[in-house]
Structure 1
């Protein structure tokens, strides 16, 4: 795997105007308009912040290789939903997710998934924003804007506990099983809820593949900044279901723009520990 330094070494020939043009092109694709509203919103009070948003947020970060644009939008709406403190930005990025090919079902599933990691209020607030975005697009003539049917777990015929235990073992492996074992002497019911609800009810739902669920979880746990042990577990999970170390680093790096550099730096520390642990066990 290339080192972080190799991937992020500055290009001294890359002038600010080139960074801006590159970032603006990506921002226009996400916004679905030639003149994204953020530029005018900041023009009268902090035009430099508008420029930094385009140059750094989109020209440096979102334009990086390693993740597709839909994957990056999924990471962004996951983090913003979990943090729960940026409704206007979440609204913009839900619309942007639709513009780059993420389905309404995938957005809804992402926000249901957020209920496990950020709580039901965060999930409910994110879904309220999603409903507003979907409704606005329907009024604008979006043909794909009908009601979303309820989903059922993808493995019918099993109990919630059986379904959850199988999913936990398949996704998070030994790291997840160790979490459950650590709860048995103090909160066995919490361990059961973790298996039945988080993995039996939520992870087993259709509409979002396992790699996308773990991508969303890494973004959420990094952005929250309060879940380092859980982030390590789900970094293992992401790698177990087909994610790569490079992709994990990209998800965490992107969080610098949405949750701040301390959250991203702490996330990278967790990733380093997981990568070293897996390397030693090979």
Structure 2
């Protein structure tokens, strides 16, 4: 086998003293994957490891990679992703993936915390109440997308406008207003949820624009897409790249 020194060193940082069983059963595959994912990809640009692993966890949620998610929680922890950040990534995923797809990942984070003697429940991160979640959500939408969102919660056809109302009070009021992640990080993980699940290009384009508006530049988003390729493959990555490349850089 010829796993590069850099790949071995990065793997050791993620998983200290751990040897994959696949080294015995699939040595050629591990050589190919580790050299690509943990040398060529991670050393291609200057994206910091903390951001890289936040994006990877969100991407694995989006593509429903539960087994790899459980593994990468360990790597994320060793690169400084906190249990609160792990939980916030999972919580916000419900708004974009639904509880039917997210529940196993919530259990995975809880199991990780228990295995590492992290006391549950974690400190609460909510900043809203039933009474103010709509207004707080409206303000979050304006902060992220701009002034045109002031009355978004009132918009839509009579028989479906309640969904826009829910987007404001639930998606943004309940989740985006929480502590633990800032707006830039929350838009980053939303971008990753959408690019990884595929078939959401209109929403992906909208949230790519929101990322740019908040300061997550096109160049930054391309770095994120690049880091996610080993985990979701090329077709969805190329679709996401197209959504980003068609954006105007100005706000």
TM-score (norm 1): 0.81
Cα distance per residue 1:148-206 (max 9 Å; x no partner): 033222x6697222111111111123786798687446520110010110101100011
Which of 223, 230, 235 pairs up with 2:203? Answer: 230
Quote the RMSD (CA, aligned, Å): 2.5
Task: Report the CA distance shift for 1:186/1:250 in structure 2 as closer, same or farther (over 3 A).
Answer: farther
| Partner residue in 1 for 2:45 | 65
CA distance in structure 1 between the aligned counterparts of 2:47 and 2:151, rounded to whole angstroms: 30
1:21: Cα distance to partner?
1.6
Q: Is the 8 A contact 1:176 1:233 kept in 2?
A: no
Task: Report the CA distance shift for 1:178/1:156 in structure 2 as closer, same or farther (over 3 A).
Answer: closer
Q: Does 1:191 align with 2:164?
A: yes
Equivalent residue runs for 1:35-184 within 5 Å:
36-38=18-20, 41-84=21-64, 86-138=65-117, 145-147=118-120, 148-153=122-127, 159-173=132-146, 183-184=156-157
Between the two structures, name the one with larger relative contact order (CA 8 Å, sep ≥ 6): 2
CA distance in structure 2 between the aligned counterparts of 1:249 and 1:176, rounded to whole angstroms: 27
Cα distance per residue 1:192-247 (max 9 Å; x no partner): 01011010110001111111111111111111112111111111111222212211
CA distance in structure 1 between the aligned counterparts of 2:246 and 2:133, rounded to whole angstroms: 32
Cα distance per residue 1:33-67 (max 9 Å; x no partner): 14x433xx223332121012211111111233231
1:263: Cα distance to partner?
0.5
* Structure 1 segments of 4+ aligned residues over 4 angstroms from their partners: 155-158, 174-182
Which of 169, 182, 194 pairs up with 1:221? Answer: 194
CA distance in structure 2 between the aligned counterparts of 1:91 and 1:157, rounded to whole angstroms: 33
Which of 185, 210, 219 pairs up with 1:212? Answer: 185
**2:94 partner SS:** helix
Cα distance per residue 1:103-129 (max 9 Å; x no partner): 111100010011111111232211100
**1:44 partner SS:** helix
**2:179 partner SS:** coil
Which of 15, 21, 32 pairs up with 2:5? Answer: 21
Q: Which runs of 5+ in 2 are unaligned?
A: none
Q: Is the 8 A contact 2:138 2:149 kept in 1?
A: no
CA distance in structure 2 between the aligned counterparts of 1:239 and 1:196, rounded to whole angstroms: 24
Q: Which runs of 5+ in 1 are unaligned?
A: 1-15, 139-144
Task: Report the CA distance shift for 1:186/1:37 in structure 2 as closer, same or farther (over 3 A).
Answer: farther
For these two proteins, the number of residue pairs brought into alignment is 250
Q: Is the 8 A contact 2:139 2:150 kept in 1?
A: no
Cα distance per residue 1:243-282 (max 9 Å; x no partner): 12211001112222111100100000000112xx345xx7
